[in-house]
Amino acid sequence: MKKNGSMKEDDAMLMHQLKRGRVKALSGLVEKYKKQAYFLALGMVGNADDAFDVSQEAFLRVYQSARTFDDKQPFFPWFYAIVANLCRNVLKKRQTVDSRQVDIDEVGYLLADDGTPETELLEREEKRKLFAAMRKLPFADREIINLNHFRMMSYDEIASILNIPRGTVMSRLYYARRRLAELMEEDERHAMRRD
């Protein structure tokens, strides 16, 4: 596995080539970051089709905006900002659709199988609550939960990507988790009233 510094140099070289109009350099970046782009978007938009579309559109934006890229800066935070903005646009467009209920089948379609069928059913219900709550979170909270929990990034990595201090990552995570807990508890209370 390559070291971080070497990866940054590779990215800088590919962006340099892309600025000179070599489309092949973009294919190098696509190969390297396509899965990250897709899963980052999936955590934020919660839908596989939209996430796939966002990830491909993000690479098109990289191609179109390559000239504005600052060679002295690392590639990934710049690229992440593009992905996050596209996700924000998708969520804005489907604000009305977002308020609908999240059902178990939908969660099952997105998540990897694990455990026995019995434990899986219970866990799936908990995950459904989490997904339903995630949909109601403001974008900034959803973003930090996605980076920390679903992409398993450290505080330092998140701080570098979002260009915020490490302490802000910590407090933003606290408020996001608290809001998520409140929403999940609310969902539970609704379910109990329905029963």
Partner 1 sequence: MQCDEIKELLAGYQDGELDGAQTAQVREHLAGCEACRTELGRLNKVKEVASKVQYKDLPLEVWEGYWQGVYRRIERGLGWIFASLGAVILLCFGLFHLVRDFFLRPEISIFAKLGVAGLIIGGAFLLVSLIRERMFAYHRERYREVQR
Interacting residues with partner 1 (CB under 8 A):
23, 26-27, 30-31, 34-35, 38-39, 42-43, 48, 52, 56-57, 59-61, 63-65, 68-69, 77-78, 81-82, 85, 109-112, 114, 123, 126-127, 129-130, 145, 148-150, 154-155, 162-163, 170-171, 173-174, 177-178, 180-181, 184-185
Which of 69, 83, 143, 131 has the alpha carbon at shortest distance from 103? Answer: 131
Distances (CA, A) of 149 to 141, 144, 159: 12, 8, 15
Report the nearest approach of partner 1 to the CB of residue 174 (Å). 4
Query: Alpha-carbon Rg of the chain, whole angstroms?
Result: 19
74 to each of 8, 16, 67, 71, how far by Cα in Å?
6, 12, 15, 7
The least CB distance from residue 45 to partner 1, in Å, is 12
CB 75, min distance to partner 1, A: 11
- Which residue, among 26, 32, 52, 30, has the nearest Cα to 41 in the 3D structure? 52
Residue pair 153/192 in contact (Cβ under 8 Å)? The answer is: no
- Identify which of residues 110 and 191 has a Cβ nearer to partner 1 in the complex: 110
Q: Is 61 exposed, middle or buried (0-12, 13-18, 19+ CB in 10 A)?
A: middle
Q: Which is nearer to partner 1, 35 or 96 (CB)?
A: 35
Residue 68 C-beta: closest distance to partner 1, Å? 6
Nearer Cβ to partner 1, position 26 or 96? Answer: 26
Instruction: Output the smallest distance, CB 10 to partner 1, in A.
Output: 17
Closer to partner 1 by Cβ: residue 69 or 96: 69
Decide whether 24 or 96 has the Cβ nearer to partner 1: 24
